[in-house]
Amino acid sequence: MIRFAAMQMFRPLNRKLLRDIIGMWGQVIAVSLVVACGVAVFVMMNGTLASLQNTLAAYYDRYAMADVWAPARRAPLQTLDTLSKIEGVRSVEGRISAAGVLDMPLEAEPVKARIISVPDGKAPAINRLYMKAGQLPARGLEQVVVADDFAEAHRLRIGDKVSATLYGVRRELTVSGIALAPEFIYSIAPGEMIPNARRYAIMWMGYEALAHAYNMDGAFNEAVLLLGPTARVPDVLGRVDTILDSFGGVGAYHRDDQLSDEFLQSEFTTLGTLGGMLPPIFLGVAAFLLNMVITRIVEHEREQIGLMKAFGYTSNAIVWHYLRFAGVIVGLGVLAGCYMGYSMGGGMASIYQDFYKFPELKFAPGSLIYVKAAGFAVLAAVLGVLLAVRKTISLQPAVAMAPPAPTDYSKIGRIAANARWMDQGLRLIVRHIVRWPGRSAFTCLGVAMGMAIMIGAQSSRDAMNRMIDMQFELVSRQDLTVVFTEKQNPAVLHELAAIRGVLASEPFLAASATISYGHKSRHQGITGVMQNAQLNVLLDQTDRVVNPAPRGITLSASLADAIGADLGDTVHVRFREGERKEVSQLVQKIVPTYLGTPAYMDVSAMQEIMQEGDRISGAYLMVDTRWLDEIYSLLKDMPAVAAVSTNQTSRHSMKETMDETMGTMTFFNSVFASLIAIGVVFSGARISFYERQREIASLRVLGFTVAEVNAVLLGELAVLTFLALPLGAFIGYQLALTINTEMSSELFRVPTVVSNWSFAYAASMILIASILSAAVIAQQVKKLDLVIALKTRE
């Protein structure tokens, strides 16, 4: 047995394999690296997604995440019995969910709070709390459990006091605990676009105390339901709505429509899409490179192949030899890639844990992901090798062995013959490129793809940045957004306009509603905006300002898509507040949007429908920034004002938020893309050195200096690299287009933009990689043993 193994070891092909690997280690490392990056991206992206999904599922399960939320105005607690009898409902809990305002010492602006009741004396059975510290509020006391992120942002500890305005009454609440909840993994203040732990608090208070504060004794305004496995969701929702209708039910909704879950799912979709697209592209580039390298090695060794066949080696044995060569490369790549992917994935997990509020998020995608990654890499390798050896293997031994005739340049050769200004070196460069159009194109394409994936990797970030810029430069041009506690008389607007430093003001009306078309519907707030608005506007496809339709409804393209409505269709609108009017509205306009799925109406038309007079929900203000602080404190003290947000802060924190998750992922991706690009460029340079050693040696023997030889060898690479730059930019743009189209979800219409910065970054990485490769090759030209190079036959 041992002897057999030893014999296996030293069979000539094994020895050749070993020597090839050692002799071409630079090449081996470069291609392995490229494979490793493809694998790493696969493991990181899909692993992060799998970890998130697994963690989410476990969290939901252990902490009894509700299936259905049913808000109402005020329903007696007895109603819960009726609800629990609905077929498919496993359990029900009623609670109070209330809005409040906090005055926090660390925050100049009033802080919005959502306060939710927990049963007195026991833990909630649905949407349970993960207690990080402290305990649930004691019965009857004005104690609160605060969300972990808010506690952290405001450095709150157990026993600290928080002053809050609940239902118009100022109260001092005592922090009894710090917690996380499965329904608030992602939380965002109403009317905001991104989470901001400093500006929005989730709190839990004992039922008795909260009911007392909001005058809700013996009642609830939100039921949460757990469903059994066989429950039919639409039926349950319908039954709940019927039961709660007389108590001001505003429409029950399933977990799919719950803000936190919906956001997570949309993030998962994005991750899944990116994870489904980038790794295959990366691995594709790796396969391409492997193919290029093996093809050229095989071509280079065609005589040896002929010889081996003449000695009686089968074609299969020879294919197997190259497959093993590729196998070693891929094996190294897979090992390194899994490790890199695992490390980066760990990094991503801790970032996501910060961003989302999971009790614990570990990078634990399960071993299948590594197996899959390895499988894909091996598949790519096998494909790359088989395509490479196919042609040479089928050659007759005699043909393969015949010393190759000098490459025939005669067909294309006269090229540049008459250009006297060219020296022979330049002529060699031009002719070599033209003589091997396939090879040159391949090298060029390889480099271009390296560049393209860098652009592609950056593009999601570019797109996000663009969306934010669009939003704040073109759409939300106001400096401040003021939201009233309750709808106010338009006279308040004059009050606001009269504040020193306020340059312009515009009212808006906002109401939550359900918009449906056919059997598709969505909970979506409708914003009533002014005609000829200047501060917060609608845009058309060409970013020109348009007015909302004076009658009927204006939908965002994303919303129209979501419910399947088109221009001229009639949608059903059910307001979920105030008089809860139901109306049919003609879709008069569809406008593109970059964020969310908004719907708009003309403000007066909307007031008419809602029949609440000419009251407004808030105002957009343009201010002289010198007065900003004073305006702030003035607004904060106005009893009608619930929240003030500045565009600058929003924009800043929006970008910051994006940079945290998407930005990091993009960063990792573009690191990998850059490594791949470097690998491709280096391999291209290395292989052409390998092929042309003899020519290089001849030139050196003729007395050409190292620099002169390099000018010929590297000149060609330089030409191909420069050709690759525009090509790479083009392919990169197409790639960005594909990725962004794929990524455009219901919530985000992703514009395809590739920033100049991304182009410049990708191009410079290519140039740097080329220069580094050139430096390595130049060293090798210098070290080339002329005698040996000339002795070995081509």
Residues of this chain that bind another protein (CB under 8 A): 405-410, 413, 417, 423-424, 427-428, 431-432, 435, 694-695, 697-706, 708, 782, 786-787, 790, 793
Going by C-beta distance under 8 Å and a sequence separation of 6 or more, which residues neighbour residue 579?
610, 611, 612
315 versus 780: smaller Cβ distance to another protein: 780
Nearest approach, Cβ of 33 to another protein (angstroms)? 31
Q: Kindly tell me which of 232 and 782 has the beta carbon lying closer to another protein.
A: 782
Rounded Cα gap, residues 553 and 564, in angstroms? 15
Of the pair 397, 425, the CB lying nearest another protein is at 425
Which residues have a Cβ under 8 Å from the Cβ of 72 and sit 6 or more positions away? 220, 221, 222, 223, 244, 247, 248, 249, 250
Q: How far is the CB of 669 from another protein (least distance, A)?
A: 40
Q: How far is the CB of 306 from another protein (least distance, A)?
A: 18
Buried (b) or exposed (e) across 599-628, using 16+ Cβ within 10 A? bbbbbebbbbbbebeebbbbbbbbbeeeee
**Least distance in Å: CB of 781 to another protein?**
11
Closer residue to another protein, CB minimum distance, 498 or 702:
702
Structure tokens at 216: 């809700």
Cα–Cα dist 178/162, whole Å: 13
Token digits for 254? 């399933």
Q: Minimum distance from CB of 288 to another protein (Å)?
A: 26
Cβ count near 750 (within 10 Å): 22
Question: How many other CB atoms sit within 10 Å of the CB of residue 588?
Answer: 17
> Minimum CB separation from another protein for residue 26, in Å?
22
* Residue with smaller CB distance to another protein, 368 or 707: 707
In whole angstroms, the minimum distance from the beta carbon of 308 to another protein comes to 22
C-beta neighbour count of 520 within 10 angstroms = 12
Q: Shortest Cβ distance from residue 705 to another protein (Å)?
A: 5
Separation in Å, CA 449 to CA 381, 446, 751, 789: 18, 5, 22, 32
Minimum distance, C-beta of residue 394 to another protein, in the bound complex (Å): 24
d(CA 682, CA 649): 45
Nearest to 755 by CA among 729, 783, 722, 779: 729
Separation of alpha carbons 658 and 355, rounded Å = 10
Residue (264 or 434) nearer to another protein, CB: 434
Q: For residue 238, what are its two tokens?
A: 């319908």
Rounded to the nearest whole angstrom, what is the least distance from the CB of residue 779 to another protein in the complex? 13
Task: Tell me whether residue 379 or residue 787 sits nearer to another protein (CB atom).
Answer: 787
CB of 408 to another protein, least distance (A): 4
Q: How far is CA 532 from CA 73, 327, 546, 550, in A?
A: 36, 66, 8, 11
The nearer residue to another protein, 704 or 730, going by C-beta atoms, is: 704
Instruction: Give 206-209's long-range contacts (Cβ < 8 A, gap of 24+).
Output: 206/117, 206/118, 206/120, 206/136, 206/137, 206/138, 206/139, 206/140, 206/141, 206/143, 207/95, 207/96, 207/117, 207/118, 207/119, 207/120, 208/120, 208/139, 208/140, 209/137, 209/140, 209/141, 209/142, 209/143
Q: Which amino acid is at 158?
A: I
Based on CB atoms, which residue is closest to another protein, 77 or 786? 786
In the complex, minimum distance from the CB of residue 790 to another protein, in angstroms, rounded to a whole number: 6
Q: Which is nearer to another protein, 32 or 440 (CB)?
A: 440
CA dihedral 439, 445, 450, 456 (to 10 degrees): -160
CB of 346 to another protein, least distance (A): 48
Are the CB atoms for 403 and 303 separated by under 8 Å? yes
| Pairwise CA distance, residues 787 & 784, whole Å | 9
For another protein, give the closer residue by CB, 300 or 435. 435
Contact present, 649 and 203 (Cβ < 8 Å): no
Grouping H, G, I as helix, E, B as strand and the rest as coil, residue 405 is coil
Measured from the CB atom, the residue of 241 and 695 that comes closer to another protein is: 695
Helix axes 706-743, 756-783, angle to 10 degrees: 150
Nearer to another protein, 616 or 699 (CB): 699
- Comparing CA positions, the residue from 680, 470, 719, 756 lying closest to residue 595 is 470
Residue 623 half-sphere exposure toward CB, CA atoms < 13 A: 28
CA 388, CA 378: separation in Å to the nearest integer? 15
Instruction: Supply the minimum distance, in Å, between the C-beta of residue 409 and another protein.
Output: 5
Identify which of residues 371 and 701 has a Cβ nearer to another protein in the complex. 701
CB of 423 to another protein, least distance (A): 6
Token pair 């006279």: residue: 491
For residues 432 and 477, which CB has a smaller minimum distance to another protein in the complex? 432
